[in-house]
Each structure stands twice: as C-alpha cells, then as structure tokens.
Amino acid sequence: MSKAFLSFLIVSSLVFNSCSSVSDADNTELNNYLIEASSSFNEGEYNKAEELFSKVLIIDSSNEIALNNQIITLNKLNKNSEALALSNKAIRFYPSNLKFKIEKARLLKIENQNTEAIMLYQKILSVATHESSYHREYLNFLLAIDYKNNNQIKNYIVKESIYLLENNFNDKEALIALCTVDKTNLKYSLLLKSKYASEWDKIYNVNNKGSI
C-alpha cells in the first residue's frame, strides 16, 4: 500500500452546500453519505468508504470533499491508476487547486511515469515559486531517479538544489545533492567542506578520489 498524500477532510454533522444544481433532498443524502464515508475511512473500512464517496460523486460529480477523500481512499486501497484518473477529474473542476496537482504528480511518480511527473512538478513550481516544501519534494523525487547517465535530470537536480540553497543557505540535503551531481562547483564544494567536512570527504575523497 502506498502512502496517502492529500489531507483527509473530516466531515462533521454540519450540512455542506455542494452546488446549486443539487436539490435539498439530494444535498441531505449527499451529506449523510459523506459523514458515513468519513466514519468508515477512519475505522479502516476503505472499501466501504470508497463505495460511499462514489455515491456522493454520482449526486455531485464536482464535490471537492468527496474528490479529495476518494483519491486518498483509492490510494489506501492501492488503486493508484483510479486515483490518478480521479485527480485528473478534480483538476478539471478545480484548476487552481495546487493540492490536486501535486497529488497527481505524486501518483505519476508511483506509477513510474517520471517524464510526466517532472513536467507537472515544473508547472506547479512555476506558479508556487516560493513553496520550498514543493521544491524539496521535487528534488527528492529527482534524486530517486537513476540520474547518473542522464544529464537532463542532473541539470534539474542542480537547479533545484541551488534554489533551495539560495532560499535557505543551511539546507544540508540540497548542498550534498548539488555537490554529488556537480563536483566542479567550487563555491558550493568549499561551503560543504567548511560546514560538513565528513560529507565532503565522502563525495570528493571516496567517490572522486581527489580533493579541492
């Protein structure tokens, strides 16, 4: 089972107004389903929760709570291809919701669709330029790819590492990633050596058999 990334939206006994096209009777039924589905999810009954969230989406296909929670539920059930399809639907309804987009990127990563994931991360970061957590997540994703013989991925790693270092000069992981991928960068090599000598030694003396 893969890790759920979106935050599960807790449903209380409050009545949620879904959309103007839903009648009062349907809206009451919808909210009852949401409450029951939320309870089932919290009790670990994910198959039942999936069924109930599906009923909500039949009544109101754009219900943001149901879309959010159903993606998480499908992820819990390891139905990642279905979760990915639903994330596409959620993005069509809520194109400005970055959480749905970042979830799609994560699902693409799980499905080993790395090229598509990279493209989506880059689109997200072009908008969320100051979301350092998204930059760090993207960097970790890039580092998990076999980048040794892929210069394009290496360039992406260098770019993201420099971004994190420029915004947080004490970002140890970004500094190590940058020096590992680009050993010729004297500025950051010297910074690594001054701050984390043992890490510098691993990269330059052990791996590179040389020193700066």
How far apart, in whole angstroms, are the C-alpha atoms of residue 86 and residue 70? 8
Angle at 208 between CA 204 and CA 212, to 5 degrees: 45
How far apart, in whole angstroms, are the C-alpha atoms of residue 57 and residue 3? 23
pLDDT, residue 20, reads: 47
**107 contacts: CB under 8 Å, gap ≥ 6:** 75, 80, 83, 84, 87
DSSP string covering 100-125: HHHHHHHHHHHTT-HHHHHHHHHHHH
In one letter, which amino acid is 51? E
How far apart, in whole angstroms, are the C-alpha atoms of residue 122 and residue 152? 13
Mean pLDDT of 153-172: 89
Mean pLDDT of 59-76: 93
pLDDT band at 141 (very low <50, low <70, confident <90, very high): very high
Instruction: Pull the structure tokens for residue 189.
Output: 């090599």
Predicted model pTM:
0.79
pLDDT tens digits along 83-135:
999 999 999 999 999 989 999 999 999 999 999 999 999 999 999 988 888 99
How many helical (H) and strand (E) elements, i.e. helices and strands, does the chain have?
11, 0
Fold of 1-97: 1.25.40
- Is residue 204 within 8 A of residue 183, CB to CB? The reply is yes
Tell me how long the chain is.
Answer: 212
Instruction: Pull the structure tokens for residue 32.
Output: 């009852």
How far apart, in whole angstroms, are the C-alpha atoms of residue 51 and residue 65? 15
How far apart, in whole angstroms, are the C-alpha atoms of residue 102 and residue 85? 14
Res. 51: pLDDT tops 50: yes
